[in-house]
């Protein structure tokens, strides 16, 4: 039986503790008790206790304390990280650990991982992936957690030298369509694809929204009278590839985007087609919470499906085979090429700052600066 109690530290912070009787260890014939403090809330303490029960049921009393990097990581994941973040963030972190970090350190004891091991890992990853600094930061979080658990006394990653980014990883070049390529893409979609696909791609190209934002749209997000589109949710992928709606990635991602007349007309046409098509299979789509774009069974569209639409259309027209996200870049670059203020572009895209927008589209702005200098030279002449 477990007892969960709250207490207040000297600094005034409220924390939780757990005390429990776990049973008799057959090897020693002694009573085994659990006592642990420092949990930020009751749920976190309960998760810790439940994990201990599972460990005992699986391994007996042989090993109650996490020792390997993987064991400590899994304990941190369930008792700490999972309670702090959205499911999609939790899932992305798990993928990163499973692909990169656990193959390198998973089976090693926390006490045997040395700074030289981490330095070699850092050097190797700095040449392979853009996000190597994030990986090192996440590894550090596991060591810090292990210190709090009393498993180790110091964090070896603090003793390494973080490699500098390699030149070939410094900037990832964005990919986008030219005006003519975009026109070809949308024309073909209108003539050769179901109207849903055309409406989906047209809306992406004319709003600069992220794929998940468009896939998570419900009809009450669109104000036909005032001709606006409101972004306040996005389709995300959680554990076991589960699709669900969550809040956008940042506070700036909440935004209202104006829609021009052609976009409104296309959306009205699609809504009419959607209602008629769905009624034929007995599905009523009159609810304001109806997805703007859904599967034939009125469920979320799989996240990979729009990519397939793009591949099919691009190959058919012999234009660069790009992803749906390239439509967002195309939207931005076309605005920039027309001299739209960077702040306006940033707000439409839902970026956290103008600086972030300028950083992503540096190459485009550099081209514009070159054109401006040439124009000035002609004026002077």
The number of beta carbons lying within 10 Å of the beta carbon of residue 338 is: 8
- 192 and 77, same structural domain? no
Output the tens digit of pLDDT for each of the chain's 381 residues: 788 999 888 777 888 888 988 888 776 677 778 888 888 888 888 888 888 888 777 777 655 567 899 999 998 998 889 888 888 999 999 999 999 999 999 999 999 999 999 999 999 999 888 889 999 999 999 999 999 888 899 999 999 999 987 655 445 688 999 999 999 999 999 999 999 999 999 999 999 999 999 999 999 999 999 999 999 999 998 888 889 999 887 888 999 999 999 999 999 999 999 999 999 999 999 999 999 999 999 999 999 999 999 999 999 999 999 999 999 999 999 998 888 888 999 999 999 888 888 888 877 766 655 554 444 445 454
- 196 and 298, same structural domain? yes
DSSP state letter for 168: H
Residue 327 is predicted with a pLDDT of 96
CA–CA dist 101, 76 (Å, integer): 15
> Which two structure tokens, joined as six digits, stand for 77?
């994941």
- 81 and 18, same structural domain? no
Which CATH number goes with the domain that contains 106? 1.10.150.130
Instruction: Please give the residue range of the domain that contains residue 344.
Output: 179-374
- 341 and 202, same structural domain? yes
- 108 and 53, same structural domain? no
Distances (CA, A) of 330 to 174, 204, 249: 9, 10, 21
- As to burial, measured by CB atoms within 10 angstroms (0-12 exposed, 13-18 middle, 19+ buried), residue 329 is buried
- As to burial, measured by CB atoms within 10 angstroms (0-12 exposed, 13-18 middle, 19+ buried), residue 258 is exposed
Residue 45 is predicted with a pLDDT of 86
Number of domains in the chain: 3
The number of beta carbons lying within 10 Å of the beta carbon of residue 315 is: 10
pLDDT tens per residue across span 297-326: 999 999 999 999 999 999 999 999 999 999
The residue out of 143, 170, 197 marking a domain boundary is: 170
Residue 267 is predicted with a pLDDT of 97
- 160 and 99, same structural domain? yes
């Amino acid at each position: 039986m477990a007892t969960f109690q709250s207490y207040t530290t000297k600094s005034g912070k409220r924390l939780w503790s757990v005390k429990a009787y776990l049973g008799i260890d057959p090897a020693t014939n002694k009573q085994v008790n659990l006592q642990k403090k420092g949990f930020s809330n009751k749920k976190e303490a309960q998760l810790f206790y439940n994990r201990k029960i599972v460990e005992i049921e699986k391994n007996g009393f042989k090993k109650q304390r996490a020792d390997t990097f993987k064991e400590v990581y899994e304990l941190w994941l369930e008792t700490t990280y999972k309670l702090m973040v959205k499911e999609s963030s939790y899932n992305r972190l798990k993928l990163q650990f499973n692909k990169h970090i656990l193959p390198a350190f998973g089976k090693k004891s926390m006490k045997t991982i040395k700074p030289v091991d981490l330095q070699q890992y850092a050097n190797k990853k700095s040449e392979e992936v853009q996000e190597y600094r994030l990986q090192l930061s996440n590894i550090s979080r596991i060591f810090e957690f292990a210190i709090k658990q009393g498993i180790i006394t110091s964090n070896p990653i603090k003793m390494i030298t973080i490699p500098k980014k390699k030149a070939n990883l410094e900037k990832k070049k964005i990919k986008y369509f030219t005006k003519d390529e975009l026109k070809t893409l949308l024309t073909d979609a209108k003539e050769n694809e179901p109207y849903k696909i055309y409406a989906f791609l047209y809306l992406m190209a004319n709003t600069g929204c992220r794929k998940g934002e468009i896939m998570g749209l419900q009809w009450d997000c669109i104000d036909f009278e005032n001709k606006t589109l409101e972004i306040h949710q996005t389709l995300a992928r959680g554990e076991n590839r589960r699709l669900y709606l969550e809040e956008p990635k940042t506070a700036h991602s909440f935004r209202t985007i104006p829609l021009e007349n052609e976009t409104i007309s296309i959306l009205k046409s699609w809504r009419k087609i959607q209602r008629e098509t769905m009624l034929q299979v007995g599905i009523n789509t009159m609810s304001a919470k109806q997805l703007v774009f859904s599967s034939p069974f009125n469920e979320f569209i799989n996240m990979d499906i729009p990519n397939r639409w793009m591949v099919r259309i691009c190959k058919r027209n012999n234009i660069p085979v790009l992803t749906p996200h390239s439509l967002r870049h195309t939207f931005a670059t076309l605005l920039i090429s027309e001299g739209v203020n960077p702040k306006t572009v940033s707000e439409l895209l839902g970026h956290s700052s103008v600086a972030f927008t300028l950083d992503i589209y540096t190459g485009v702005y550099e081209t514009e600066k070159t054109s401006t200098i040439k124009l000035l030279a002609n004026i002077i002449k």
